[in-house]
Amino acid sequence: MMCSIRGCSGEYEYKRIVHTVHKGDEIFVFDHVPAEVCSVCGDTLLEPEAIGHLEALLKPKSEPQKLIPLYNYVYGAL
């Protein structure tokens, strides 16, 4: 399928991506999310089924499989 971004000549390709969701003060990172990604501009489309699954995973607030460090980028802090 051709990219939906005006002027982009790329095509969407199926990939598994890392998807980040900001909910209030919390950040949720999901790995291996199925998506269609443009080969030129990187525009990303998630299918309704994938979005529904992500929403379901966020509701019961289950324990994460991994914990990762999170660093805040503060300009001029060096």
Contact 57, 30 (CB under 8 A): yes
- What are the residue ranges spanned by the domains of the chain? 12-58
CB atoms within 10 A of CB 39: 14
Residue 68: the pLDDT is 83
Question: DSSP 3-state assignment of 29?
Answer: strand
69: pLDDT strictly greater than 70: yes
Q: Which position has the higher pLDDT, 69 or 19?
A: 19
- Averaged pLDDT, 45-71: 86
Average model confidence (pLDDT) across the chain? 90
Q: For residue 77, what pLDDT band results from cuts at 50, 70 and 90?
A: low
60: left (phi over 0), alpha (psi -120 to 50) or beta: alpha
